Amino acid sequence: MDKCPISRDLCFQEEAESANTTADDFKRIFQAWLKRSKLSEIVDQLRSLIAQTTALQILVQSQNYQIWQLPWHEWSIFQDAEVSLTFQTGQSVIRSVAEPRSALRILAVFGSPEGINLDQDYQEIERLGSQAVEVKFLSQPNRREFYEALWNEQGWDIFFFAGHSTTLIERGQAGVIQLNLDEVLTIPEI
């Protein structure tokens, strides 16, 4: 027996409107909480950083993945900044980008291909290479090679990984990527 006594389309429309209203209510409550919370104490510092630079990236670090699911982009302070969410490593990182790049920089890491075909991924990334896009390819790097490339002083706009990986957040662990046949990295290690 159908739970909806009227047409399915009308029920779907009502459910979608209800979900949108709930989402709007949540955004409003979240914004009010941000204004009242201890986070508001850092707003002045963030605003002064944003005023001093043409581009700012802010990392929200937490070991609680539910924090990542909050609509941080709704916080007015982030309208002029790029917001990234990352697993908490114990290190605070504040870095501003003084000048926009003339070319988009992509670090493309191809991990262990055992049992999977990465050729199409490689070809698609390779097609992006041009004057406007700089691509650095790493194929099954060891940890040292990976870290040297990742922490290049010019930085990267996009980190791309193709290969084997897994996420174990539900057990309180971070995800892992398999760099090569012998080495894996957890997200905090990245």
Instruction: Note the pLDDT tens digit of each residue in 20-48.
Output: 788 888 888 888 887 776 766 676 677 67
Q: Has this prediction a pTM greater than 0.75?
A: no
Other Cβ atoms less than 10 A from the Cβ of 151: the count is 9
DSSP string, 59-101: EEEES-HHHHTS-GGGSGGGGGSEEEEEE--S----EEESS--
Q: What is the CA radius of gyration of the chain?
A: 21
**Residue 98 exposure: Cα atoms within 13 Å on the Cβ side:** 2
Instruction: Note the pLDDT tens digit of each residue in 135-156.
Output: 999 999 998 999 889 888 888 8
